[in-house]
Structure 1
Amino acid sequence: MKPTLNRMKSLDIFINSLSVDDYKEIKSSLVEDDTLHVNMLSFDLHIQNLEAVVKRSTIQNDLELLKRYAENKNWNEDIETILLKNSFEALILTDLNRNILWVNDGFSKMTGYSKEYALHKSPSFLQGKETSEEIRIRIKEKLKENKPFKEIIINHRKDNTSYKCELHVFPLKNNNKTTHFLALERQIA
């Protein structure tokens, strides 16, 4: 019998430690089990869902913070619906003048810039030589329309590498007057 260690149970290990004579002595008392046994360690179950749990937790944290902003600023938009119905890696909250007031952790992961560095800057600091002037102008025009929009732009990380970024921008309104913008961003292929 050639054992495979990763499939051995305690009894298997014990039996393999016996001498041939000792094994012959107990062999008749051993019963073969035809049932399939599945090893289920709590870690096995947890690790399979860890990414989903972390993502839900992150979205929930972002949502709670944005709900506090929404309450304070009396926004009319349903922030929860916006976050749950749209894919994103990074969130950027700006004032009407496009000064960054808040970014989530995903922003730092995607861009390499710290939250502190991004604050009070315009999101245009992510643009660089590969960013199309035509798209820059189109984004400015769409912001003036005060309607949600999507756009794809070439942004640049802190390490100067470029990436294709899908922006989904939502104007946030108080009494039908835009006061802030929320950008949901994700890197696309």
Structure 2
Amino acid sequence: MSNFQEYDGAIAKYHSCLNVKKPPVFSWDFHHEFLYELKNSFLDLNKLNSIAVQNKWDCDNWDLKIRLKEEVIIVTDIKLTIVFASHNIVKMSGYEPAEVLGKSPKMFQGEETSLVTSNEIRKAIELQEPFEKTVLNYKKNGEVYACLIKGFPIFNLKGRLSHYIAFEKAA
């Protein structure tokens, strides 16, 4: 047993003499978070591209890779049912993407959401026109936040309405 104590003492003495700077442990959290966001961004981009190819979208003018870094992307079908939500929706609303799939974007609205603004958005959707509005939405925990929404109808290569896409960020 004394051999182990001598060995441990020698190792401790050796390491105490080294002039090595160690990275702080908390830096690993940043690295992990970066990798997690990078992975989710990659998954979101692949899913969006898959939806676009499957539905033959005519949408060459959006740089989805950049938008995924800066904005939340929500895609609905023509009945306004959410079929895709980017992973960064969690930061803005507290909802996981899986929690919003199959629901209407109205799930984010509440008492303080302006009916006038909601009606303007509804009208633009009915007319299949792009819109840009700021609305008061609700987080999962009930907190109110201002959300800038840039919405666009998406047409397929035959010119038929396929989906709606919204690029959102906290205003």
TM over 0.5: yes
- 2:51 is the counterpart of 1:69: yes
Deviation of the 1:101 alpha carbon: 1.3
Which residue of 110, 115, 136 corresponds with 1:128?
A: 110
Q: Could you say which residue in structure 1 is the equivalent of 2:165?
A: 182
| Counterpart selection for 2:125 from 143, 148, 159 | 143
**Which residue identity lines up with residue 168 of structure 2 in the other structure?**
E
Q: Kindly tell me: are residues 56 and 78 of structure 1, through their superposed partners in 2, closer, same or farther at Cα, counting changes over 3 Å?
A: farther
| CA 112–44 in structure 1, closer or farther in 2 if over 3 Å, else same | closer
The one-letter amino acid of 2:117's match is I
> RMSD value over aligned CA atoms?
3.2
**Other structure's SS at 1:129 match:** coil
Q: Which residue of 2 aligns with 1:21?
A: none
Deviations 1:128-160 (A, max 9, x none): 011011100111112223233321110001111
Shift of 1:117: 3.0
- Indicate the residue corresponding to 1:22 in structure 2: none
Figure out how many residues of one structure are paired with residues of the other and give that number: 157
Aligned amino acid, residue 187 of structure 1? A
Partner of 1:158: 140
Structure 1 residue 113: Cα displacement: 2.5
TM-score, normalised on structure 1? 0.67
Q: Is the Cα contact below 8 Å between 1:63 and 1:80 reproduced in 2?
A: no
Matched residue SS, 2:102: coil
Q: Is the 8 A contact 1:66 1:79 kept in 2?
A: no
Assess if the C-alpha contact under 8 Å between 2:58 and 2:154 holds in 1: yes
Shift of the 79–54 alpha-carbon distance from structure 1 to 2, 3 Å rule, reads farther
Change over 3 Å in CA distance of 1:48–1:144 after alignment to 2: same
How far is the alpha carbon of 1:173 from its aligned partner?
0.9
Code of the aligned partner of 1:131: T
1:164 counterpart SS class: strand
Structure 1: 5+ residue stretches without partners: 1-9, 16-38
Question: Shift in Å at residue 95 of structure 1?
Answer: 0.5
Secondary structure of residue in 2 paired with 1:172: strand
TM-score (norm 2): 0.73
CA contact (8 A) 2:76 2:82 kept: yes
C-alpha distance in structure 2 between counterparts of 1:85 and 1:111, whole Å: 17
Task: State the 1:48 CA deviation.
Answer: 7.7
> Structure 1 residues 57 and 170, CA, compared in 2 at 3 Å: closer, same or farther?
farther
Distance 1:40 1:180, change over 3 A: same
Q: Which runs of 5+ in 2 are unaligned?
A: 1-12
